Structure 1
Amino acid sequence: MRVQARDLAAREEKLEALQKKLTESVGALVTGEDWKRALEFAAKFRGRSFGNTMLIAVQHYAAFQQGRVPEPMPTYVAGFKQWLSLNRAVMKGQSGYAILAPVTARFASSNPSDPDSWRRLARGEKPGFGEAVRSKLVGLKPAHVWDISQTDGEPIPEPPAPTLLQGQAPEGLWDGLADQITAQGFELRLVSNAKAIGGANGLTDYMTREVSVRMDMDDAAQVKTLAHELLTAPTGVP
């Protein structure tokens, strides 16, 4: 029991330290440009929470300043066993980046519609006959990940780079899509290149109610981008 208590206290201490580091890293984002860089970085790691991407970024930059990694921004980040499954291993002397990992537990109920009927299953316990089972987040625990620059082994296959459509678009399709956008009260803007809209092919701004499409692409790519801006919103309109 004393060992378990010490382990629990150590975990709580690590969680408090991570929460403090997270608060400090977010608090350091004081300018619009800082937030822009942070959001661009977080967008590269959509499988992780914004908090964990901030923790990774702060710790990786510290490793860069110490000369342990070659670049200030991380690229591919994974856990120890995940790197092994990719035939790569963490290099000796490389410390992992602490993040907040979810802790889940299984719950069972013979009457799922009653919220008070769910009971937590012990490890290895099987639900009773006819009971429904669901998993639920019950807490957080410290975990560690490493950037690819902290590992060596087989190269990681690069995903194929997207290519822009080329050629002409079907006649009248641009006008039809543009009419649907303006009918919803959005102004259609044509910009000279991707730099004008943060490197994207198209952009919908809900604050100014503007849809922007870069014009340095073939007609087919412009129409495809316009359709994307129209159809990716939850309601089917920008």
Structure 2
Amino acid sequence: MVRVDWRAGQVSRRDEDRAEKLEQMQEQLTGAVEALVSSADWRRAMAFAARFRSRSFNNTLLIWAQHLAAFEQGRVPEPVPSYVAGFKQWRTLGRAVRSGEPGYRIYAPITVRMASSTPDDAASWRRLAPGEKQRPGEVVRRRAARMKPAYVWDVSLTSGAELPSRPAPRLLDGAAPHGLWEGLTGLVEERGFTVQLSSVGQLDGANGLTDHLTRTVSVREDMDAAARVKTLAHELGHVMMHSRDDPDVAQHRGIKEVEAESVALMVGAAHGLDTSDYTVPYVATWATRVPDTPAVDVVKATGERVRRTAVAILDALPTEQVGNGDPPGLALEPTAGVTVSAPAALPERHDAQQRIPATGPVL
């Protein structure tokens, strides 16, 4: 008698279905990134990412593209989502996803347990089998082995209990968010730099300057408070992401300015600052200049690097900030200890003396 394991067929079909969905998501993500490469929407994308900064840059773009499609189909009332969460998460808040709404596909990690007795040695980690215990002296961490599709829904696709209101920063024209200058200054000083206000003549017309040789960050003093704080956030981006030791300074200069300006944009957007006057170079001019790397990969790697830097800054600030896209009152499961591999990253690029001519992007 021949036994047929019907479960093996089920698993195979499930894996094939997952693979097909992941392929569709990759095509959608690539399309969204290609649109950024060939358009002037980088500033808008980064401001959007600031509102959904708890999610990876890839997932942010997937949410953006799918919500916009839902808006064009008349399924949602606004072109930009407000809060997104999973099916069960909405249930915990007393809301239910409307019948028939497919949701937005995003990437979610499938994690495995890894053990090592020498955790600083990357090659020493070994995967634990289900139920297997670590050996004496080993450290255990969870890492993402692969990705699977998961689903989230905007609040407009749900119904039920009212969500609690979340206060949003309110700013007067030209005013800086309360405590932001002091907070950014503290982060700069933690990294061994000194912040100083300088005249426009001292900066040769630029708004700011990061000098890694003298360990100083200079900001023009003859600007309103909002402009000064945005410039300081830009320079902090340089301090955290770049240094003077990069042999490819000239080649990657444009990308570094995009990174620093994008960090400033995200920090400003998270504090309710008007982002309409941010200057971000046309994406195609820098994304296509990295040798042996497709422009799509450059944009994805840059966006994720910017997001992580901005999130590190925002998490360290005691200031009042806009939400991160999670519904108010949602208790999130802890993710500490889970390592998720970043997108294919560019090599770290550094800077010597950050100076930009008056005709270039705002420093």
TM-score by length of 2: 0.48
- What is the DSSP-based 3-state SS (H/G/I as helix, E as strand, rest coil) of the residue aligned with 1:184? strand
1:86 — aligned with what?
Answer: 93
For structure 2, the residue ranges without an aligned partner over 5 or more in a row are: 1-7, 176-181, 187-193, 199-215, 236-256, 265-312, 318-362
Larger RCO, structure (CA 8 Å, separation 6 or more) = 2
Q: 1:20 to 1:189 in 2, by over 3 A?
A: farther
Taking structure 1 as reference, are residues 139 and 184 closer, same or farther at Cα in structure 2, changes over 3 Å only? same
RMSD between superposed Cα atoms in Å: 3.5
Aligned to 2:59: 52
**1:190 aligned to 2:223?**
yes
Residues 116 and 31 of structure 1: is their aligned pair in 2 closer, same or farther, counting only changes over 3 Å?
closer
Q: Offset of 1:179 from its aligned partner?
A: 7.2
What CA distance in whole angstroms lies between the structure 1 residues aligned with 2:133 and 2:96?
A: 36
Q: CA deviation at 1:115?
A: 4.0
CA pair 111-36 structure 1, distance change in 2 beyond 3 A: closer
Partner of 1:2: 9
CA distance in structure 1 between the aligned counterparts of 2:105 and 2:126, rounded to whole angstroms: 32
SS in 2 for 1:68: coil
Q: Secondary structure at the match of 2:102?
A: coil
Q: Secondary structure at the match of 1:160?
A: coil
- Output the CA distance in 2 between the equivalents of 1:164 and 1:73: 22
Q: Distance in 1 between the 2:229 and 2:121 partners?
A: 47
Q: Deviations over 1:26-70 (max 9, x none)?
A: 1112332x1111111111001001111111111111111111111
- Equivalent of residue 116 in structure 2, options 109, 118, 139: 109
Distance in structure 1 (CA, Å) of the matches to 2:222 and 2:59: 36
Name the SS for the 1:202 alignment partner: helix
Give the secondary-structure state (helix, strand or coil) at the position aligned to 1:161: coil
Identity %: 49
1:69 aligns with 2:104: no
Instruction: Write the letter of the residue equivalent to 1:180.
Output: Q
1:184, 1:62 → 2: CA distance? 43
Q: 1:153 to 1:111 in 2, by over 3 A?
A: same
Alignment of 1:182-221 (within 5 A): 182=198, 184-191=217-224, 202-204=229-231, 205-206=234-235
Please give the secondary structure, in 2, of the residue aligned with 1:104.
strand
Match of 2:196 among 168, 177, 180: 180
CA spacing shift, 1:87–1:181, aligned 2, 3 Å? same
CA distance in 2, matches of 1:85, 1:73: 24
Write the distance in 1 (CA, Å) between the matches of 2:24 and 2:143. Answer: 25
Q: What's the offset of the Cα at 1:157? A: 1.0
Q: How many residues align?
A: 199
Structure 1 distance, partners of 2:43, 2:123, is 44
TM value normalised by structure 1: 0.71
Partner of 1:22 in structure 2?
29
The DSSP-based 3-state class of the residue aligned with 2:141 is strand
Aligned AA for 2:229?
G
Output the CA distance in 1 between the equivalents of 2:27 and 2:65.
12
Report how far residue 164 of structure 1 moved: 6.2
What 5-or-longer segments of structure 1 have no aligned partner? Answer: 167-172, 212-227, 233-237
